[in-house]
Structure 1
Amino acid sequence: MSSQRKFFVGGNWKMNGDKATINEIIEFMKGPINTNTEVVVGCPQCYLMYTRQHMPASIGVAAQNCYKVAKGAFTGEISPAMVKDCGCEWVILGHSERRNVFNEPDKLISDKVGHALEAGLKVIPCIGEKLEEREGNRTEEVVFAQMKALLPNISDWSRVVIAYEPVWAIGTGKTATPEQAQDVHAKLRQWLRENVNAQVAESTRIIYGGSVTSGNCQELAKKTDIDGFLVGGASLKPDFVHIINART
């Protein structure tokens, strides 16, 4: 990993937790945690303010989604301005579940990313291929198309952390081997070099998601182009601290 890219670990709680559970997570998030790792947790929107108020100040708090405009008649949505008003500065966008369960297309995800950045949030856009796409040797085609869709709306790469999450490895217990993950990360970095510029390619953090555990995190963390993780279910458990400390 480049010395200019700080190791980054995100925890995506998804639709899990209540105040009692969050209190338990807050306790184990008190560490010890490697101060050389940037840590952000993504919580359900109704707990954004509670989590921000009680989580250690050194841990960032993210919304798991937000809409592409500041306000309006969009029942059930929240805006980046609302996320900020809750004291949070991050949002996860384009997660595979948003793409494949809620059928969010590339264009909508890109518009959301653009507005979130304009509103001052930092963004974790997620990309990744399905199993049939992987088996059909279409991984590069799929993830490059997802990146191309994002490109027109990314105004400030310093506030973007790309999460590569092969859909076939999310919550399945299957994990891309460190070599498979590194291969895609390296190709994504080369894509940034060719389609944005060398400085962005070198400085942008590309993190891996997909059944990351305390057992496999250290091997993954050794790879040159893997700058951290986006962790699902394991972020609800004390083992999450071991994943945060994968580079320790």
Structure 2
Amino acid sequence: MRQKMAAGNWKMNGTSASLDALQALAKAHPAPGCEILICPPAPLIHRAAQSAAGTAITIGGQDCHSAPSGAHTGDTSAEMLRDAGARYVILGHSERRSDHHETSAEVRAKARLAMETGLATIICVGETLTQREAANTLDIIGGQLSESVPDLATGENLVIAYEPIWAIGTGKIPTMAQIGEVHDFLRTRLEARFGPGVGRSVRLLYGGSVKGNNAAEIFAVPNVDGALVGGASLTAEDFSPIITALDAA
């Protein structure tokens, strides 16, 4: 049985004062049926982990380098994230792929080291609107999946997040049939590559304009095991209804 996950990606948002949201979430969900993950900016990870200690909230990072250490000014290693209290790391988000020109090969190298370091990885895949309109979605998703996920992936160290790029922060979401098509495709590909044991144990998240008012419908789609949430995860007021919907799914 896959444990559902509500993951919040704060992106480049938040200061120490923002950590009050963790206590509000912990109070609202003292014993959730799903895993609650918050991925704040790197400078907040250690304080977030301290604030979340003893609660049902897990903390993660938003990226890591593919090298364990070295002359990489401004970067953060997987070991540093783990030492700061992170247990997960998001890799291959479309904003990293676009803004920092990250390739799937680079994502795979980062994921390999993160897994070896003891971090679970959330690897993101997703298509642009042009690719969606050209009916290339599954080809794009399949390529990103095969090239980004290392061979040592298991159900414990890998989560896949499907985030259609055109739906992130836009208020637009695919139809439930479109979400289902991609998630079924991901499940089939994972089972074919890793076998039914691992393939069926990897959690599949949907991300892209998930809100409290559409979460229940999204979570009712087969093979959707939760959500990777951006803006709506910044406050307990917005994120809590999504968690509640996931618990009820």
Q: Indicate the TM-score class for this superposition, using the shorter chain for normalisation.
A: over 0.9
Preserved contact between residue 110 and residue 153 of structure 1 (Cα < 8 Å): no
Aligned to 1:159: 157
CA distance in 1, matches of 2:6, 2:80: 24
Aligned to 1:7: 4
Deviation of 1:34 after TM superposition, in Å, equals: 5.5
Aligned to 2:99: 101
**1:245 is the counterpart of 2:244:** yes
Preserved contact between residue 37 and residue 245 of structure 1 (Cα < 8 Å): no
Deviation of 1:153 after TM superposition, in Å, equals: 4.3
Q: For the structure 1 residues 90 and 152, does the alpha-carbon distance in structure 2 shift closer, same or farther, using more than 3 Å as the test? A: closer
Deviation of 1:33 after TM superposition, in Å, equals: 5.4
Aligned to 1:26: 23
Preserved contact between residue 113 and residue 154 of structure 1 (Cα < 8 Å): no
Aligned to 1:83: 81
Question: 1:198-224: per-residue Cα shift (whole Å, max 9, x none)?
Answer: 122211110000000000000111111
Preserved contact between residue 61 and residue 89 of structure 2 (Cα < 8 Å): yes
Identity of aligned residues (%): 38
Question: 1:124-182: per-residue Cα shift (whole Å, max 9, x none)?
Answer: 11111111001110110101001111244434342111101000000011011222111
Aligned to 1:194: 192
CA distance in 1, matches of 2:115, 2:21: 32
- 1:116-135 aligned at under 5 Å gives the runs 116-135=114-133
CA distance in 2, matches of 1:193, 1:178: 22
SS across alignment from 1:239: helix
Deviation of 1:32 after TM superposition, in Å, equals: 2.9
**Which consecutive unaligned segments of at least 5 residues does structure 1 have?**
none
Aligned to 1:48: 45
Q: For the structure 1 residues 230 and 59, does the alpha-carbon distance in structure 2 shift closer, same or farther, using more than 3 Å as the test? A: same
Deviation of 1:44 after TM superposition, in Å, equals: 0.3
SS across alignment from 2:156: helix
- 1:163-182 aligned at under 5 Å gives the runs 163-182=161-180
SS across alignment from 1:223: coil
Which amino acid is the alignment partner of residue 119 of structure 2? Answer: L
Deviation of 1:123 after TM superposition, in Å, equals: 0.7
TM-score by length of 1: 0.95
**1:67 is the counterpart of 2:101:** no
Once superposed, what is the RMSD of the aligned Cα atoms?
Answer: 1.4
Preserved contact between residue 123 and residue 159 of structure 1 (Cα < 8 Å): yes
SS across alignment from 2:66: coil
Number of aligned residue pairs:
245
